[in-house]
Structure 1
Amino acid sequence: MKGAILAVGNELVEGRVLNRTSFLAARTLLLNGYETAEIVTIPDDHELIERYLNDFLKRYQFLIISGGLGPTTDDITNEAVAKALGRPLVRHEDMVARIKARERAQGLSHNPLRLKMAELPQGAELLTYDHAIAGYYLRANDKLIFCLPGVPEEFELLLESRVIPLLKKLLPTDKYFLSRVFKVFGLREADINLALECLLHKENIKIGFYPALPEIHISLLVWDSSFDTAQALFMEVSAKIEKTLGQNIFGHDEDVLESVVGKLLNAKGETLAVAESCTGGLIASRLTRIPGSSAYFERGVVTYSNQAKIEILGVPEEAINRHGAVSKPVALAMAEGVRKLSGTTYGIGVTGIAGPTGGSAQKPVGTVWIGFSCPEDTVAQCFLFPGERHLVQDYAASTALDWLRRYLTYGTLVPSYQFPCKS
């Protein structure tokens, strides 16, 4: 059962707004057994809307259109859809009443432009029961057209609560799809591809590789007309991926490194403190994005200057003078210093050269020392991360978090990574 997605809006093609609605639609459709054959983004243009609508209806069973349903003069989707189908626009009095009720509830003066949202193609059926959100669907012979607002939150609400149930009722699918995203850190994309080569050409399996630097995401999609068969195949392939990539998989689907680390710390009743230089508080920021992080994250200090490293963390001035701020002795002292200062189970120290200036032949831009202090020992590694300043910082922060994850999960004191490691 295949369909298409048509995203409408000048702001989308001009790059001013990210097209989140197409992403939401494609992902939700797939998880419910519906394939998206095409996704097209076009401006607010009558001719283009009509052309794509008529073309898609010839080739697919359903079409989802997002955007252009609002009250302003550049919202032209309703008129274009009506013209393409050869139908007149009809005022929905129920929608008129909802719009006026919302104006009163919000203390707004009446604006006749808002009533434009109630002028819908003949045969349109509203997707909301009592809300003034624009959104409707149409039948065109044996095909379905869904017109949804371009606001992602409103789009997602109608997609999940009304569009998917209607599709399942009116265009039931004959396939079951199961999917999972494996999130990997510490391996290169091409090497992951080679390691999973034996799975890439099997029937009813699709595996994709997507750089989300500094991570690599692997998507697995399995399908069959029998749910039991699809599930058995899904479990078999998932197990092979897990075994092949091992410790390098840090999570799945919506997992992020900082939440994975947080759950592990919370489960063990252990705590963490971090001392950052070149990452400028990025690790602490990521950790504290997670609700409940105060249970395991005690503090983060940004010791950007040499003096701050000496005064706050107790880094020996001699170590900085002899080896430089970006060095093993300093990384060790930072990790151990912040752990002792805060009384936590673990301490992490990060010092490096994020660039674009400050590098040398001995310590080029991207050189980062990470120190890790735990009850067992305090150790440090030197890395040479690629990219511009922000990517070096991302790599450093993710490596520090992943290092802790591997220790908490596997007891790995000094992990091995594929990106250049100089120690």
Structure 2
Amino acid sequence: MHILLLSNLYPPDILGGYELLARDVAEVLTHRGHTVEVLTTGSRTSEASVIRTLRLARPFGRPAGRDRLRHFWAGLRNRAATRAYLRTHAKPQVALVMSLRRLGLAPLRVLQQAGIPFVLTVNDDWPVAYAAGLSPRGHTRFGQWLDEVLVPARTWSGLVVNRVLYLSEAVRREVRNAGAPLASGVVQSQGVDLSLFTPRAFRPMRAKLRLLCVGRLHPSKAPEVALETLAALKQRGVPATLTFVGEAGEPGFQIHLQRRTQELGLEPLVTWAGKHPREQLPALYHEADALLFLSRLEHEGQGLTYLEAMACGLPVVAWPSGGAREFLERHDAARLVPACSGEAFADALTALRGDPAAQEAIVQRALEVVRAHASLDAYVRCLEGQLRHAARGSTGP
């Protein structure tokens, strides 16, 4: 198939896992013999198969805004850019639409008008940004009318979305309950590249625990609870260190965490490793004794770092939310704590540290679950099936 991948960002421009997944999907589909072109944003020069002519209504890194003027101009530019792409390139058989947050829906309208079927992937709540204005309050209805008439790039009005691949049931529920007029679609867990994230030989936890947190430093990820876990272990006489792999979007939050580390007397025990390329993560997972996975984000799509750790044979101790909780509770492949607190995590780690048999059982179960339910290959196969159905005009699931 000739596939157009439409996304707001594409590597090397990334915010997190969604953009990396977009590149993974493009590479795997290409390897399977499909022709994949990417239409996206960015200041870099376009490549042969990555056309960077779209524009964001507001750059990431700045506070989100609902101002109509920005969306109006972005919609005009992106409509023109999408039409230009269709004029100068062979017409794709089908489009794969990834996140359009801050990009707007103008490109989607052009595709629909051109008769190009599309499949949406919904890995977080991005469609909700264009479902605002559904309140019955009068001024909101007036705002919705203005959007539909003047700025259709930021509403779903008139768009028919029949094929959707949701990352989790939690995401599907969140998005549809918020009023986004998307089909119920199918649910498929995001996948880990099992050729990169390979398991180590099982070994029990060390006497001095090496704990790991991977991901951006953000209040929704509760990194301060990881620090409190380390402090609780120290009070119990359980030696441990903690490494954070990731960086804060807001420098002030990084400073807050470092001050909290000082207050708890943990400075010699905490390493701030910063952001690492994905290719370096398996070595970090192999070296650690446990991954701490924390999330207070109720619309968490699914999360990825705990799956990477599980694929590497690293025990996961977690307080998950959203799709992550849904996945881990269903598959029983991690040690879940009863509260998002340092004491609860310390209890779980202390018990697990003294029970090598339980550690091995968790690791083996996790490896089975990732292979069966959360591989990149399984995700792309499901997506490929949806793209084929859409290209044929099939209306079934």
TM-score by length of 1: 0.29
Q: Which has the larger radius of gyration?
A: 1
Bigger strand fraction: 1
Q: Which one scores higher on RCO, CA 8 angstroms, separation ≥ 6? A: 2
